Structure 1
Amino acid sequence: MKRCEGNVAVITGGSRGIGAAVALRLAEEGADIVITYESSAERAADMVEQIKARGRRALAVQADSAVPEALTAAVDEAAATFGRLDILVNNAAVFLVSPLDDLSPSDIDRTLAVNVRAPLVASQAAARHMGRGGRIISIGSNVADRAPFPGLALYSMSKTALVGMTKGLARELGPRGITVNLVHPGPTDTDANPADGPNAETIAGLTALGRYAESTEIAATIAHLASEDGRYITGASLHVDGGFTV
């Protein structure tokens, strides 16, 4: 049984990595998919074809998540194109590791614009289109709870902010039947963070399971939250991190 049959989902930054895995999993669960992308039109077009190959409708919209107007327009376009909006996955993010002394004001502004402001802006736009059963799911990070090495202060701060946003939105949108949740992935094998990268063995060793996640494992949890099966989960921060924070 397809658990998201007939739903429409927007995944920000859905052309690669965890976002792409989520887009494909939700398509397999029966949802029509809209992805946003910042720069790679070719990669986004390939994702659209992969989604269509699974029998679902798909749309890719260019939008820099640091620009609120572009992000709001992308969400509105998704709802207008497919006639509804049921699921939002706030996935797009900037990952910057830098010593405190080297952080510039532009580094701080860009990270907070994409990692903190954009999820709130997209959630605000999506909630206008959602009815009962709507789902807002944000992608956090294992380093929101544990910063295992120096240089993570800015990124960790940006992902920790999503905990407060999730709790606040869950309380505000709960009476409308909309759930809001946060998923904290652990180290995950993607092109940006490969499981065979230079520090991967050390990072994998920080998890209880001793390995990186596959992006499909993160997507599976998001699919559960997005479906009717997740209807009584809201305001939660779920760690899908192989025991990184234990």
Structure 2
Amino acid sequence: MLSNWSPSQYLKFEDHRTRPAIDLLARVIADDPQSVTDIGCGPGNSTEILVDRFPSANVTGLDSSPTMVEAAQKRLPEQGFEIGDVVRWKPKSQQDVLFANAVLQWVPDHRSLFPRLLSHLKPGGTLAVQMPDNLNEPTHAGMRLLARDARWTDKLKDAEGERTSILSSSEYWTVLKQHAPNVDVWRTTYHHPLRGLNGIVEWFKGTGLIPYLRRLSEPEQADFLEDYRELLSKHYPMMGDGTVLLPFPRLFVVARLQAG
């Protein structure tokens, strides 16, 4: 059973997971950038679209998971990757673009984090961020509800705290506008067609369920996931062909500094 970050589990839904990164990159204005960092690069799918968009740039991937960095390096052997925590990370030189797709929801204190990331940019540089905004969706409310079950409440009492409650659109705009004249914030809900309830379970085994599953034994994981499927069945109806649509809201933030 899965208990930690797994490139293969994550990439079961590569097309769906990469689409928001493509949409985010489409809103990045950058004229011939020389230095680009993919923060939370995962297995390299987001890094790849950055390399394609900016072929003359030095594109680097950063991730805290050694297994993800290893997978990214195999995918893009010509690119540079490093293992690191964005909270303590500081680039060797200022960057033209910082790209963070579906990662900063795991990092706390965004009121300090986002200005610090802006400080790593050159004049005219761009910070582009996409974060799941789904903590109130049945998928995540169900995780929290099950975590309070007496069978494993002691083991899971700290699991919820691994994921950050992100700020509102207006709060991000206010924080960033103090440092960047050009700020764009928007929210999109994707509807991902998956194969039944197991499709939803497999999706979140690669992300949101990890803090819960890694704290449980294999028999406990099986029981947890069985109950999780039952909770999901109340909210995600199956269509005639076996498809279940997973509504997935995401928040996008793009901030561009004043050019020098």
- TM-score, length basis structure 1: 0.50
Greater fraction of residues in helix: 1
Greater fraction of residues in strand: 2
Q: Which structure is larger by alpha-carbon Rg, 1 or 2? A: 2
- TM-score, length basis structure 2: 0.48
